[in-house]
Amino acid sequence: MTVVSAAAAPFLERRFELVPMDVGAGSGDRPYRLTGQERRDLGLWGAMTQFVGRHDEIEVLRGRLAAAGSGHGQLVGIVGEPGVGKSRLIWEFTHSSHVDGWLVLRADAVPYGKTTAYLPAIDLLKAYCGIADRDDQRAIREKVTGKLLALDPAFEFAVPAFLTLLDLPVDDPAWQALDPAGRRRRTLDALKRLLIRESQVQPLVLVFEDLHWIDGETQALLDGLVDALGSARLLLLVNYRPEYQHTWGSKTYYAQIRLEALSAESAGELLDALLGRRSGLAPLKQLLVERGNPFFLEETVRTLVETKVLVGERGRYRPTHDVQAIQIPPTVQAMLAARIDRLSPEDKRLLQVASVVGKDVPFALLQAIAELPDEALRAGSTTCRPPSSSTRPDCYPDLEYAFKHALTHEVTYGGLLQERRRELHARIVDAIETLHRDRLGEQIERLAHHAVRGELREKAVHYLRQAGLKATRAVGAPGRPGLVRAGAGRPRGAAGEPVHAGAGLRDPPRAAAGAGPAR
Ligand SMILES: Nc1ncnc2c1ncn2[C@@H]1O[C@H](COP(=O)(O)OP(=O)(O)O)[C@@H](O)[C@H]1O
Ligand SMILES: [Mg+2]
């Protein structure tokens, strides 16, 4: 059995279901049992809060879906601040009966994703072909070939491009003969045609999340798809933060949904669901109802529970203090920073170390750099033994934690001193080199990223060059080495200001940019 402590669980949830354990009265916070199912990180305490409001937005989506279904491809962009509910809206819509009969494929961009060519496109391809993380090369090859040929034998031309995308060796003279630009064209074209062709078999909803972190190649794929939407039965559903720029404004089949904070009415409903309806809660609700960012509301409630201002069970809380005395931090970032500060030194350190690894954190890597003896890791926050055979025996030792929300990750990372960050990034390079010494090729982008931020100049140059070569040779990404700019996808500090990756390497080595200009 695998157990996760109560303190760390809210920040760092595994991509698995966590079930509170009954350990008897008086034992303080309850630990969680890992039950093995993969789940998305949208919920609070492992369960999603009741969905509220957003009726108009769902109506817009429904209308656009209907248009797409009748052969007028549509693009909908959902724009909003972090935590406002972009992902949740898409989740609700794509898990509703509206999409019965539709194939839904999704791809997420991730922080630092700008630096790895085609990352979301690769996810999409894997989802389409049913490729699991643990599939070996043979299985991947069979799945890709089988899926493509079943769709349309004409898609044989796409096999080398897709296998290359998936990092498999390709023995095809015609493909080998293509120059980088030719491969890039072929890859983008193959992906686009695949999706359009599939939409002729069954209507397709394509979800691309967090475009503000998207890499240049996936952007090119998206732009290509947008131009080809015309008569496809395809709804392209994307979301992004307000800073993201695109060129779709003039398309007649494009709609933007600007997601604002919840209305006071919807926020009230959300608070009722989170807190319950005891009359003593009314002043607190009054205080919060104007602050309609749902992530803010969830995190506020969690803070109040952690600080024992609220006691009881979820949905049935009771205030212990006069709300007039409660200080509500002005932003969700400030709230998260305060919560992190209240963790025990060990839990806090673990969380900070995890944040340097990234938003998704392989357990083995965390273990290698956490400087905590196994015992402490276990006692302090996480225990990881192979899950019992009834869960997912195949996933050990690659169990992965994920920060609950990108903001949680950003704030944790932003709270670390620069020198400490640099040191941790450097240690991560060592750890990856040791852990993955047999398959370093798969880790190049990650290594380059950490070497740059760890200010390991020689290694940074080396891995950046390798990443650049890999991207250029493999799929002809022009000037898209693993890490083009030290600043790309850089996380932001608590107050929203950029967090600097450290002196010395702001200007990445020329070798890295040799393949082309940084975007
Ligand atoms: N309309 C809603 N009703 C209930 N909970 C919501 C709603 N919108 C968002 N949430 C919750 O708020 C949190 C943040 O939402 P999320 O979709 O991740 O934000 P974003 O993608 O905009 O950063 C999640 O836990 C989510 O479940
Ligand atoms: Mg989101």
- Domain ranges in the chain are 55-258, 343-513
- Split at pLDDT 50, 70, 90, the class of 480 is very low
pTM: 0.77
Q: Give 73: exposed, middle or buried? Use CB within 10 Å, 0-12, 13-18, 19+.
A: buried
CATH of domain 55-258: 3.40.50
Using CA atoms, how far apart are residues 266 and 258, in angstroms rounded to an integer?
Answer: 17
One-letter identity of residue 399: L
Cα 103 to middle of ligand 1, angstroms: 23
Cα 12 to middle of ligand 1, angstroms: 17
Percentage of the chain surpassing pLDDT 70?
75
Q: Which ligand is nearest to the CA of 405?
A: 1
Cα 294 to middle of ligand 1, angstroms: 6
Using CA atoms, how far apart are residues 327 and 66, in angstroms rounded to an integer?
Answer: 47
Cα 92 to middle of ligand 2, angstroms: 13
Cα 85 to middle of ligand 2, angstroms: 7
DSSP string of 222-262? HHHHHHH-TT-SEEEEEEE-TT---S-TT-TTEEEEE-PPP
One-letter identity of residue 342: R
What's the DSSP call for residue 395?
G
| Out of 179-193, 415-429, 430-444, least confident range | 430-444
Using CA atoms, how far apart are residues 189 and 61, in angstroms rounded to an integer?
Answer: 28
Residue owning the nearest CA to atom 13 of ligand 1: 295
Q: Give 165: exposed, middle or buried? Use CB within 10 Å, 0-12, 13-18, 19+.
A: buried
Using CA atoms, how far apart are residues 432 and 7, in angstroms rounded to an integer?
Answer: 27
What's the DSSP call for residue 328?
P
Q: Per DSSP, what are the bridge partners of residue 34? A: 18
List CB-based neighbours of ion ligand 2 within 5 Å. 87
Mean pLDDT of 334-354: 85
Which parts of 83-131 fold into alpha helices (H)? 86-94, 119-129
Q: Which ligand is nearest to the CA of 85?
A: 1
Cα 406 to middle of ligand 2, angstroms: 8
Q: How do 400-403 and 3-4 pair as beta strands?
A: unpaired
Residue owning the nearest CA to atom 15 of ligand 1: 85
What's the DSSP call for residue 47?
B
User: CB within 6 Å of ligand 1 — which residues?
Assistant: 42-44, 48-49, 51-54, 80, 82-88, 270, 294-295, 298, 405
Give the pLDDT of residue 202.
94
Q: How do 234-240 and 74-79 pair as beta strands?
A: parallel
- Split at pLDDT 50, 70, 90, the class of 404 is confident
Cβ atoms of 191 and 221 closer than 8 Å: yes
Residue owning the nearest CA to atom 16 of ligand 1: 85
Q: Which of 49, 89, 403 to probe ligand 1 with, by most ligand atoms within 8 A of CB?
A: 49
Give the pLDDT of residue 73.
95
Give the pLDDT of residue 518.
32
Q: Which residues contact 271 (CB under 8 A, 6 or more apart)?
A: 281, 285, 288, 289, 297, 301
Extract the tokens encoding 359.
């938003």
Using CA atoms, how far apart are residues 462 and 440, in angstroms rounded to an integer?
Answer: 13
Query: pLDDT tens, 236-277?
Result: 999 999 999 988 888 999 999 999 999 999 999 999 999 999
How many Cβ atoms are within 10 Å of 441's Cβ, its own excluded? 10
Q: Which residues contact 293 (CB under 8 A, 6 or more apart)?
A: 81, 83, 84, 261, 262, 332
Extract the tokens encoding 486.
């030290």
Cβ atoms of 271 and 288 closer than 8 Å: yes
Identify whether 397 is preceded by a cis peptide bond (ω within 30 of 0).
yes
Residue 333 pLDDT exceeds 60: yes
Using CA atoms, how far apart are residues 497 and 414, in angstroms rounded to an integer?
Answer: 9
Query: pLDDT tens, 149-170?
Result: 999 999 999 999 999 988 888 8
Ligand 1, residue 405: give the atom nearest the CA: 18
Cβ atoms of 82 and 407 closer than 8 Å: yes
